[in-house]
């Protein structure tokens, strides 16, 4: 039995934040060494940050990354560590990971498969390394092996799959297995999305089984660069068995997950596999010999299992809460804001944002402690000594009513704010609305009425709320949060410079149907360790409404648009699946047989028309979090022309199809 302790780290890095990134790396290395780890996998591009975007082109970035690498090397005495950084070679940029140990770099492995879907745009900056190619890289006068490499230290072989390399059909791991590797390290930058952690777990397990090796998976943690949230979740598996799974959504800067591996056992499994066919060339040109000796290890008792929330029947609700809480925490501290301002209408969207902001403080304080939370958040000057006091200091909610607002929404907003212990203000903006209306009426020399000027009279009410919210945010050094959701972004059901005001739009990546179900869960059950928030009953009992028309109009969002579940189904089919109006309609006929065909066709036509008209609005939204791989953010996910033909021909085909198929 030959035992070796390995570690997988998750790091909360920030692009170009060299001191922070270095401190997290050093903290992870020291923690790993303290636990007896001999081989440590750190995340992808951990030295500079994964989200540097066009800054990758800057020679200064690469020079600084190498300088930080040299500063870290002395800490690698007695341990082998993977460290990711960009490298310019033959005038091409490569995403690489170097294996360092005993104070020196032993070589660089380059990424072979570049992520290019959704928010990933790696081919803009990097070139894929060709399979089976080795070259030499010269840096600061020293020459290192570079390419598709396998490292051997003390008779133990180590190879790499870098993030996307594990998600493609022809994984490098299959070739590494033929080189009889004992360990495959995967330094990743894999963002959170619903259900994605389970896919990662399967990739790691299947990789360890198929390649008869120990698979070590490290990942980023937190809101790295503004939009993507990384959940961490380090994994270690051996021969198809999960040995260790690290916690997710942590508020600390780093965490190391460890496992004790029996190398002889994995080699026995490899020998037993009839499909295993080792590469038997006398001289393996892709192998790099590393001068390093692994210490002996003794067996250890098993570690702790997964937290209770990971086993919840409401895993999606738990993940959503924890992803956005961590995203808000990192955005607040990395933007150097001193809290948040939320324009709380008493409806579902703004209540969700307020709840997430307050729960972020509660969960963060529980994990780190109040004082450590304050220091990490950059608000150490606050005198608040309890989580409740800290919520009051960091979260300001304001209700801005007009003559069309109801006591129902006002009381709901106040009730939620009080239950959260947020600072709350009730402002009457009716005089501001009247001032603008009167000013324009005098300019036009006519009266504005609901019969002739409905949209303008609605929008001015939303727009006058923006300046007061921004002013409160400025006075407190806080960040104004927009409360728009994805369903309404799809059809432009938002007032630009009104309810879209804000520096961050945390729920713009999630559909309204899920938000409403999440709020009902939060009212009655809530996240593990926090519990329910009964005050939300006043929100959940209402039909969503903008309250911009006179109360006698009985305005509701779904009357203006369509049922939110239907809207979500159309959006997924039209945008996510790229279907035509007729194809979307045919799908809806199956999913919603209780609705009349003419009504379904009308909703489909309305969606496509509004989708095209409102791309300019989506271009102007504040940055949003990616929690669902259906995001509509045109800057990083779903590109669509601002000006287009509007699907006129396709909608005419829909009308003709409905007429031909109707009884």
Q: Are 112 and 129 in contact (CB under 8 A)?
A: yes
Q: Is the pLDDT of residue 61 over 90?
A: yes
**Pairwise pLDDT comparison (498 vs 662), residue with the higher score:** 498
Q: Is the pLDDT of residue 586 over 70?
A: yes
Angstrom CA distances, 584 to 149, 566, 580, 588, 643, stand at 48, 11, 6, 6, 22
Mean pLDDT computed over 242-266: 96
Collapsing DSSP to helix, strand or coil, 154 comes out as coil
Alpha helices in 464-541 (DSSP H): 465-476, 486-491, 512-524, 537-540
**Tens of pLDDT, residues 621-638:** 999 999 987 889 998 888
Element (H, E) at 261: strand 254-262
Q: Are strands 423-428 and 395-401 parallel, antiparallel or unpaired?
A: parallel
Q: Are 155 and 182 in contact (CB under 8 A)?
A: no
Q: Are 162 and 187 in contact (CB under 8 A)?
A: yes
Q: Are 9 and 255 in contact (CB under 8 A)?
A: yes
Which DSSP category does 336 fall into? T
Confidence of residue 440 (pLDDT cuts 50, 70, 90): very high
What is the spatial distance between Cα 316 and Cα 195, in angstroms, rounded to a whole number? 8
Angstrom CA distances, 518 to 196, 395, 510, 540, stand at 19, 21, 11, 10
Mean pLDDT computed over 532-549: 90
Q: Is the pLDDT of residue 280 over 70?
A: no
Q: What is the pLDDT of residue 603?
A: 97
Mean pLDDT computed over 74-89: 98
- The phi and psi torsions of 9 (rounded to 5 degrees) equal -105, 150
Q: Is the pLDDT of residue 157 over 60?
A: yes
What is the spatial distance between Cα 214 and Cα 379, in angstroms, rounded to a whole number? 42
Q: What is the pLDDT of residue 281?
A: 67
Q: Is the pLDDT of residue 217 over 70?
A: yes
Q: What is the pLDDT of residue 663?
A: 72
Q: What is the pLDDT of residue 286?
A: 84
**Tens of pLDDT, residues 509-538:** 999 999 999 999 999 999 999 999 999 999
CATH topology for 562-663? Answer: Arc Repressor Mutant, subunit A (1.10.10)
CATH topology for 3-306? Answer: Nitrilase/N-carbamoyl-D-aminoacid amidohydrolase (3.60.110)
Confidence of residue 305 (pLDDT cuts 50, 70, 90): confident
Cβ-count burial of 567 within 10 angstroms (0-12 exposed, 13-18 middle, 19+ buried)? buried
**Pairwise pLDDT comparison (584 vs 498), residue with the higher score:** 584
Q: In the chain, what are the helix, strand and coil shares in percent, each to the nearest 5?
A: 45, 20, 40
Question: CA gyration radius for the chain?
Answer: 28
Average pLDDT, the chain: 95
Domain ranges of the chain: 3-306, 311-558, 562-663
**Tens of pLDDT, residues 166-209:** 999 999 999 999 999 999 999 999 999 999 999 999 999 999 99
321: region left, alpha or beta (phi > 0 left; psi from -120 to 50 alpha): alpha
Structural domain 311-558, CATH architecture: 3-Layer(aba) Sandwich (3.40)
Q: What is the pLDDT of residue 254?
A: 98
What is the spatial distance between Cα 116 and Cα 509, in angstroms, rounded to a whole number? 19
Two tokens at 481? Answer: 């949060």
* pTM of the shown model: 0.94
């Amino acid at each position: 039995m030959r035992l070796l302790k390995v570690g997988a780290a998750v790091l909360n890095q920030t692009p170009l934040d060299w001191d922070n990134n270095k401190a997290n790396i050093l903290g992870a290395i020291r923690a790993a060494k303290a636990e007896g780890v001999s081989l440590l996998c750190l995340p992808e591009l951990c030295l500079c940050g994964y989200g540097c975007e066009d800054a990758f082109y800057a020679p200064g970035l690469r020079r600084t990354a190498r300088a930080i690498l040299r500063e870290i090397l002395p800490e690698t005495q007695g341990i082998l560590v993977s460290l990711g950084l960009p490298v310019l070679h033959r005038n091409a940029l490569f995403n690489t990971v170097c294996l360092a140990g005993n104070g020196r770099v032993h070589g660089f492995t380059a990424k072979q498969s570049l992520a290019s879907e959704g928010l990933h745009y790696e081919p803009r900056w990097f070139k894929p390394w060709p399979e089976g190619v080795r070259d030499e890289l010269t840096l600061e006068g020293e020459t290192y092996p570079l390419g598709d490499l396998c490292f051997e230290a003390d008779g133990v072989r180590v190879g790499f799959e870098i993030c996307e390399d594990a998600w493609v059909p022809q994984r490098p791991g299959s070739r590494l297995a033929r080189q009889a590797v004992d360990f495959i390290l995967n330094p990743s930058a894999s963002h959170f999305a619903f259900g994605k952690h389970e896919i990662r777990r399967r990739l790691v397990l299947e990789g360890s089984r198929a390649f008869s090796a120990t698979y070590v998976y490290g990942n980023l943690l937190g809101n790295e660069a503004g939009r993507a949230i990384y959940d961490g979740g380090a994994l270690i598996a051996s021969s198809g068995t999960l040995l260790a799974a690290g916690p997710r959504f942590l508020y600390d800067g780093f965490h190391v997950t460890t496992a004790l591996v029996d190398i002889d056992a994995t080699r026995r499994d490899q020998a037993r596999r009839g499909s295993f066919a080792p590469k038997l060339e006398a001289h393996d040109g892709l192998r790099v010999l590393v001068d390093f000796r692994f210490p002996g290890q003794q067996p250890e008792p098993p570690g702790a299992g997964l937290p209770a929330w990971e086993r919840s029947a409401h895993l999606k609700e738990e993940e959503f809460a924890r992803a956005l809480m961590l995203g808000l925490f990192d955005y607040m501290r990395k933007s150097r804001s001193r809290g948040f301002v939320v324009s709380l209408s008493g409806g579902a969207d703004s209540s969700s944002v307020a709840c997430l902001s307050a729960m972020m403080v509660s969960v963060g304080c529980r994990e780190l402690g109040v004082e450590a939370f304050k220091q990490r958040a950059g608000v150490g000057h606050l005198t608040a000594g309890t989580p409740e006091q800290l919520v009051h200091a960091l979260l300001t909610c304001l209700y801005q009513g007009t003559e069309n607002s109801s006591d129902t929404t006002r009381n709901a907003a106040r009730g939620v704010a009080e239950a959260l212990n947020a600072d709350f203000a009730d402002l009457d903006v009716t005089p501001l609305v009247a001032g603008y209306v009167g000013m324009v009426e005098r300019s036009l020399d006519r009266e504005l009425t609901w019969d002739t000027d409905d949209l303008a009279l609605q929008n001015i009410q939303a727009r006058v709320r923006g300046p007061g919210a921004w002013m409160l945010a400025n006075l407190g050094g806080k960040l104004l949060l927009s409360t728009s959701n994805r369903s309404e972004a799809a059809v432009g059901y938002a007032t630009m410079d009104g309810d879209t005001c804000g520096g961050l739009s945390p729920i713009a990546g999630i559909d309204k149907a899920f938000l409403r179900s999440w709020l009902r869960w939060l009212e009655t059950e809530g996240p593990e360790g926090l519990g329910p928030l009964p005050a939300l009953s006043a929100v959940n009992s209402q039909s969503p409404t903008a309250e911009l028309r006179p109360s006698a109009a009985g305005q509701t969002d779904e009357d203006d648009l369509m049922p939110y579940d239907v809207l979500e189904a159309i959006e997924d089919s039209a945008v996510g699946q790229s279907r035509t109006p007729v194809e979307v309609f045919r799908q809806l006929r199956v999913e919603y047989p209780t609705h009349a065909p003419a009504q379904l066709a009308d909703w489909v036509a309305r969606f496509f028309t509004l989708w095209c008209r409102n791309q300019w609005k989506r271009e102007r939204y504040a940055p949003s979090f990616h929690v669902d791989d259906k995001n509509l953010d045109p800057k990083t996910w779903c590109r669509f022309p601002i000006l287009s033909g509007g699907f006129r021909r396709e909608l005419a085909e829909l009308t003709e199809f409905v007429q031909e198929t109707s009884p």
